[in-house]
Structure 1
């Protein structure tokens, strides 16, 4: 069941590309805390098993497409997207960002998977949430849906997952959650509802 109460259809494979956290010491313990089926989760860092970069956009898109065909994920998480852009991409220039991200949209359609791209927030706390992502607006412009996670200004211990863009469906309600520390470095989310 999803946090909003809707049902999950069938389980699927997940590919997590993580450029900042260690797969063994950070990502795996968090997945275990959430009760993930680790047989369906593929976690990779910046490099593949052969030591070569698994994904640098747009240069390595063909190799990445081959990997997607092997893993057959329903969800691909790229965290953070900035770690997987090649040096030819200027993250502050809209058309440069689009050149890097548009091939991901094509791959998502071809492989029938969702792509979840994470990026850090900028320091402009008073900005509209749609402008809070670091670097170019091209990151949001290329996406069909965009979300932000931020502290709840009314309750210090709570966080809010809020939709800031959605081109595919009706607007979705924001969801509130808390982080509960069962294990160091692997907090458990407790969803509180909309």
Structure 2
């Protein structure tokens, strides 16, 4: 079972590397890792388990955050209607995106970043994703709002990009033109 001790912190070189594609069909070892990543997210959102194991609540996790430089992400988040969006994917790729932008009004956080880094992070408002699930099936999904933001955050990790790289350093709360403000 993954714990906070398995999550590497900002400054670790793996977080700045471009992760390797996962050879498909995925190995049993890679499947187990991805299942453990999803289990971590589910446990981290359960108040009793989070307290018992000392987990910070998370909605997304990328393999580089557990020091595995492979293109694997897990996302477990509710959309604006309260529907659970839950995906564990190998080699996820953004295949389409809106011109329109979106950002979280509260800013973004990250399990690998211990301190709060204030500022708006511009993201695409809507995205299309292609990836391979734990059953080795290629899937395509369309996302908007918070789930779209979470997927972009996690895919950034696969490319060595941290959320704060997107924040305007001179004016972190500068309104993002024509962007949808997403409440969390």
- Structure number with the bigger relative contact order (C-alpha 8 A, sep ≥ 6) is 2
TM over 0.5: no
Look at both structures and tell me which one has the larger radius of gyration over its CA atoms.
1
TM-score computed with the length of structure 2 as normaliser: 0.28
TM-score computed with the length of structure 1 as normaliser: 0.27
